[in-house]
Amino acid sequence: MRRHFEEQLEELNTELIAMGALCEKAIALAARMLLEDEIGLKREVESTEEAIDRKERAIENLCLRLLLQQQPVAGDLRAISAALKMISDMERIGDQSRDIADVSVEMNECLACGEGTTLLHIGDMANVTSGMVTRSIDSFVRKDLALARSVMSEDSMVDELFEKVKRELSSLISSGAGQGEICIDLLMIAKYLERIGDHAVNIAEWVEFSLTGRHAGERR
């Protein structure tokens, strides 16, 4: 019985890794649409977001089977409960990547907004948040508390980049460059990326809960 349970837990880890990879793909595709003017990728972003939704349902069903059939206790119960919370955050990451793609389509004809520095920082935000998502999932699979906490610490980096984007856009609007609408779109994209970073932190916090029984919010 225990061996079968461990096999199912391993399946859960595999499915979480796959869902995390889909999230990373969605972020990368959405960023390419914005930064490289590859608007034709919109359908691929949409299909990736749909795949994330399907993966969420599959993992949720697996977790419910584990809870009902195996009746886990202690650490195993925390791990399954954490996985259920994590997939909710990953599903939202898929949604926000699709939102970025939608906004990019609306503003693609004006990608030259500013002097390029704003888009550079948005690109940095995309790279950082994508890495945070990947490492937060890895920390769960590896049961690596230090890795989870390193993801939490990166939240300040995302916040700093977001503040830079806001300042640059504010200066651009104040200069009367006549690109106020595009600046608002860019600010929306930066906000979506900030939220993706928040979701990665949420995942890492649930990893801490699964390993220690304490949520990072309680520790703070």
Q: Which of 15, 14, 79, 81 is nearest to 52 (CA)?
A: 15
Global pTM reads 0.90
Q: For the residues 110-130, what does the mean pLDDT come to?
A: 73
Contact between 162 and 129 under an 8 Å Cβ cutoff? The reply is: no
Q: Does residue 152 carry a pLDDT above 90?
A: yes
Task: Map residue 35 onto helix, strand or coil.
Answer: helix
Please tell me the predicted confidence (pLDDT) of residue 171.
Answer: 84
Domain boundaries, the chain: 2-219
Q: For residues 184 and 204, which has the higher predicted lDDT (pLDDT)?
A: 204
Contact between 104 and 32 under an 8 Å Cβ cutoff? The reply is: no
127 exposed, middle or buried (CB, 10 Å; 0-12, 13-18, 19+)?
A: middle
Residues 7, 130, 134: CA angle, nearest 5 degrees: 20
Please tell me the predicted confidence (pLDDT) of residue 113.
Answer: 47
pLDDT digits (tens, 9 = 90+) for 46-61: 999 999 999 999 999 9
Q: For residue 115, what pLDDT band results from cuts at 50, 70 and 90?
A: very low
- Alpha-carbon distance values, 118 to 36, 128, 145, 165, 181 (Å): 14, 15, 34, 6, 15
Q: Does residue 114 carry a pLDDT above 60?
A: no
pLDDT digits (tens, 9 = 90+) for 1-22: 678 788 889 999 999 999 999 9
CATH for the 2-219 domain, from 2.40.110.10, 3.40.50.1220, 1.20.1530.20, 1.20.58.220: 1.20.58.220
Tokens of 173: 């609007």
